[in-house]
Amino acid sequence: MKKCIYILALLAAASCTRDLTDLNKDVKNPTDAPSYALFTYGQKELVELLTTSDVNTSGYRFVVQYWQQTTYADESRYNFDERELNKHWWDGFYTDVLGNLEAARDLIPKYTADPAAQKNQAAMIDIMEVAAWHYVVTTYGNVPYSEALNIESAFPKYDDANTIYLDLIKRLTDASAALNTAAGGFGDADVLYGSNINRWKKLANTLKLKLAMTLADADAAKAKTFAEEAAQAGVIGSAAESALYRFLSSPPNNNPVWTDVVQSGRNDFVACRTIVDSLKAKTDPRLQKYFTPNVAGVYVGGAPGVLSDYEDFSHIGPIIAAADNPGVLIDYAETEFLLAEAVARGFAVGGTAEAHYNKAVEASFIAWGLTAGDAAVHLAKPGVKYVAAEWKKYIGVQKWIAFVNRGVDAWLEWRRLDYPQLEAAHEAVSDIPLRVKYSVDEQNINRKNYEKGSHDIGGDEVETRLWFDKF
């Protein structure tokens, strides 16, 4: 973890020099950051993007109706243009995540002598890049890919989203096969697994399963093949194998939600009525873990899109708002939900859909400080107990509840599974978004390719349905 601040130290050292010729150097873009520091920074930036509640970058908790705003309602009503969320999300992935990971790849030979370790490091970078590209493609659709991240390609073309996705799955397959458990990786600069190569293999396979299931409605045959390959190769099988980023209890490496909810001293967010009412209807004990009661001692959420008085509604719970609450790339509960869906679709991944569904809910309970016994009681309730004929509903709703602190993942699953059935927010500027518009910089700088990319997906609108979202 300490190495993730290496770049900041490097900048500080550069600023203290007495050699005036150094004034001509761009200290904001150091040319000699080591590969392992750039790898750590890429990991950190990816998980921060997935975790942050900063309305300038991420409004997904409002879209899927976990949170509601008190001071302004732009993101709750799907106005992502006001603070240029479209641009900041795009730049975050292309520059801060993918840019740093590619720079790390280029520097591997300089900082690692062992060829086997070099190969492992390249595979680890591939896995992290695929995870990042997954979010880029499922957010926007067609995007620059084959010509992206290349300084010689100033105006990269937009590649077909489905073609990109199939290539991402191939990259995961290749990376899993390339990883050598007898060799090292990035050492403790790998803040997900400490370079445990067995766990990196499982991460690659689990991400492959996730991408396969994302394709399931668009291409069931390919999804079946990829899901079965991933399960056979070995996916995450316990909470200990979850891909978690361990934030620290103090800045600058704390959980960004703490920054927005606690450190800021602002009262901008409350619980949303949709999630609170769903949890109350099922007497789900996770309610007390996710939120706090209002001043009257009851759990109540604000209506989507309606400005909500902070004192009248439930607030973000202390677990979610903790400075050291881990960020999640993918975890055991999600893996079991994916396996449950795969079996429900007739894919041969082992086990029964109900058994995987039960394990997923149990894993969610335990992750939030409840017990397996609590989960068993909950799973026996009508409306929670698995019903095979309505698998999309049951898996979709429980996954939505489990993903309460993972807004962008919940948004993807809502688009795929169509549950829970949400209604558009009050005074919404559009229907519930099915994608995010392209960055305004693309319109201004890469205009020709932007126009073709927009045309090919059916228009640069939030209502445009992406290739995987068939229903």
Of residues 92, 102, 142, 144, the one with CA closest to residue 126: 102
- Helix, strand, coil percent values for the chain (each to nearest 5): 55, 5, 40
Preceding amide of 420 cis, omega within 30: yes
The tens place of each residue's pLDDT in the chain, 471 residues long, gives 333 433 333 333 333 333 333 334 443 454 569 999 999 999 999 999 999 999 999 999 999 999 999 999 999 999 999 999 999 999 999 999 999 999 999 999 999 999 999 999 999 999 999 999 999 999 999 999 999 998 889 999 999 999 999 999 999 999 999 999 999 999 999 999 999 999 999 999 999 999 999 999 999 999 999 999 999 999 999 999 999 999 999 899 999 999 999 999 999 999 999 999 999 999 999 999 999 999 999 999 999 999 999 999 999 999 999 999 999 999 999 999 999 999 999 999 999 999 999 999 999 999 999 999 999 999 999 999 999 999 999 999 999 999 999 999 999 999 999 999 999 999 999 999 999 999 999 999 999 999 999 999 999 999 999 999 999
Classify domain 35-250+325-457 at the CATH class level: mainly alpha
Three-state DSSP state, 330 = strand
Contact 425, 439 (CB under 8 A): no
Q: First and final CA of the chain: distance in angstroms?
A: 42
Q: Locate the domains of the chain by residue range.
A: 1-33, 35-250+325-457
pLDDT digits (tens, 9 = 90+) for 288-338: 999 999 999 999 999 999 999 999 999 999 999 999 999 999 999 999 999
Q: What is the pLDDT of residue 152?
A: 86
Measure the CA–CA gap between 359 and 318, rounded to whole angstroms. 25
Whole-number pLDDT of residue 29:
52
Nearest to 406 by CA among 243, 293, 266, 277: 243
pTM: 0.93
Looking at this protein, which amino acid is placed at residue 2?
Answer: K
